[in-house]
Amino acid sequence: MIFADLLFLYIFMALCLAAYFICKNVTYRNIVLVLFSLVFYAWGEPVWVFLLLGSVTVNYVGGILIDKFKGTKKSTVALALTLIFDIGVLIFFKYAGFLTENFNAISPVDLPVPDIKMPIGISFFTFQIISYIIDCYWGTIKVQKNWGKLLMYISLFPQLVAGPIVRYSVIENDIDNRKTTARDISDGITRICMGLGKKVILANNLSVIVDTFFKEGNLEALSVTGMWYTVIVYAMQVYFDFSGYSDIAIGLGRVFGFHFDENFNYPFICKNITEFWQRWHISLGTFFRDYLLYVPIFGKRRKYLNLFLVWFCTGFWHGAAWNYIIWGLYFGFFILIERLIGAKALKQIPTVITHIYSKIVIIVGFGIFYFTDMTKFGIFLKGLFGLNGNPLTDIISARSMTSNLWLVLVAVILCLPVVPKIKEKLEKSEHALLYSNCQTVFNIAIVALSSILLVNATNNPFIYWNF
């Protein structure tokens, strides 16, 4: 089941909200969320629910043992065994085939390559549960001694399959003491509508352009202009797709009384690559920062080795393919360069130059992200600079630019913090009531238009469900 689906919007979500608000006691509300979350996750493939329940149980026991033997070697052993289980499960389901293929490529052995179907969202809920168990060991949170409450934290359907990666500390108090105010419901619904519009109206239509040239077209013959045009559109597609999901997740959480941290903050307005990753997929970036960047390796923090591991893992986390590893190390390289230059020196560079530099790096990065086929990846890189013998322009891409002008223009504008600035000014003016009414009408319009677009739409899941 996906958020951008009529079944979810008009049946699942409606039933969940009704059942949730009928209950007045937070314990019963937690039970409702657990039951609906398990149904949500089981909708596509019921068997993976048992994997989820097993992971929660192992980490529940691990947390109890860490707390019981706190300050002793037994606590460290409990942490290590739990992490081995969590990471082992992730490697088995997500990377077993990839690792076997590459082992066969460099050795005389020809092992059978396992064809293992990856559970949806395993990367997200595994990292979430890893953050919980490490925080238990570090003593930054209290160990959850109620299995059902830990299950609710991990399985909560708004963020279960594609994030954001919610830290236990963020909702620790909300599990037992949350309250939903009228403002929570209003802001949550608005956020859900905005996310739905990003996905259905923008991302899905931008994906048609990308598929036309990168998936269905003759990539080698695509002009230089067409190559840059398509990869720019793809960058916006991924942004609206993933930030749209995050908006819906945060909005749903808000309606239920949870206050998740933001996952995106207009990343394309960044002036350098370091700032981009402070604004893009924030929950993943902070995860690696807190649990890997500053962790001592062989008894000592090793600045450059830690940085390499962070960006290797960032890329590899996204998928079992070499392009993702290259993509992670590619961004890590530029972040290393920026660190060597220093923040003060970067600020002295003219803003126009830093913006141009960062956008070129980011856009090329999205091309690396797209092509899992290394042959096509090479064609893409050469095509950006006309090294395929491809022309500077072509009629087909020019027509696409013309026919999709308004879609692309709106997408570009919404990549900028224009709406929040307008909202801030109107809310502080004498037109606050008018703005509120317009927002309600706008929400209804987005839901109506999205619903119409979804009537005959084929299944179009969020991009990050693959990770």
Q: Which residues are tagged catalytic?
A: 318
Name the percent of the chain in helix, strand, coil, to the closest 5. 75, 0, 25
Which residues, 6+ apart, have CB-to-CB distance to 257 below 8 Å? 174, 178, 179, 180, 184
Long-range CB pairs of 265-271 (<8 Å, 24+ gap) are 266/415, 266/416, 266/417, 267/239, 268/235, 268/239, 268/359, 268/362, 268/415, 268/416, 269/415, 269/416, 269/417, 270/358, 270/362, 271/346, 271/351, 271/354, 271/355, 271/358
Question: How far from each other are the two terminal CA atoms of the chain, in whole angstroms?
Answer: 16
CB 363 within 8 A of CB 228: yes
Neighbours of 46 (CB within 10 A): 11
CB 92 within 8 A of CB 81: no
> Is residue 222 within a helix (H) or strand (E), and if so which, with residue range?
none
Nearest one of 239, 243, 289 to 263, comparing CA atoms:
243
CB 287 within 8 A of CB 437: no
Residue with tokens 């059978």: 112
